[in-house]
Amino acid sequence: MTPVLRVAILGAESSGKSTLAAALAAHFGTVWVPEYLREFVDTTGRVPRESDQFPIAQTQMAREDAAARQATRFLFCDTTPLMTAIYSRWYWSRVDAQLSLLEQRHDYAMTFVTAPDGPWEADGLQRESEAVRQTIHEQVVQMLDERGIGYSLVTGSLEERMVQAVRLLSAYS
């Protein structure tokens, strides 16, 4: 049995992570892991508190591990604990010890970063502003660079992003 390759899709708010993850999963006939934070905000009716950050990241990883058992060839992961930690640093200027350990686990075959080049759209409680989106994008790229994690920036329309991502993923065929 061929091992499932996990693909991290990172990026700031309103940058197309979910759309790309769903499209790639459909293209490759596999499953994807939606961002748990969105469900958390919808079900609780509030933005997360600092104490929610580790449980959110932990749930994200548990869902990723469960989906890996259903995936074929690739598992597309709409965010990782690394993003949760970046937002923790943004909102609370720190990352708690448990989340810090979890964010170090970045064992993905490939990492895509979605460029903030589409229109920013407000989304109720979860999204803040175009300026925050740009700042978070810069922090994502900086964090990946600092940690020596290779990534590919995907840009343009969904169709353009798909061409870029599929071309890069074809190396794993």
User: Please, are residues 13 and 127 in contact by the beta-carbon 8 Å criterion?
Assistant: yes
29-55 pLDDT, tens digit per residue, is 999 999 998 899 889 988 899 999 999
Q: How far is CA 78 from CA 64, 66, 81, 96, 162, in A?
A: 9, 14, 10, 22, 15
At residue 63, the pLDDT reads: 96
- Higher model confidence: residue 91 or residue 152? 152
Domains of the chain in sequence order: 5-172 (3.40.50.300)
Q: Does pTM surpass 0.85?
A: yes
Tell me the mean pLDDT in the region 6-15.
Answer: 93
Closest C-alpha to 156, from 14, 16, 10: 16
Confidence of residue 105 (pLDDT cuts 50, 70, 90): confident
At residue 117, the pLDDT reads: 87
At residue 120, the pLDDT reads: 63
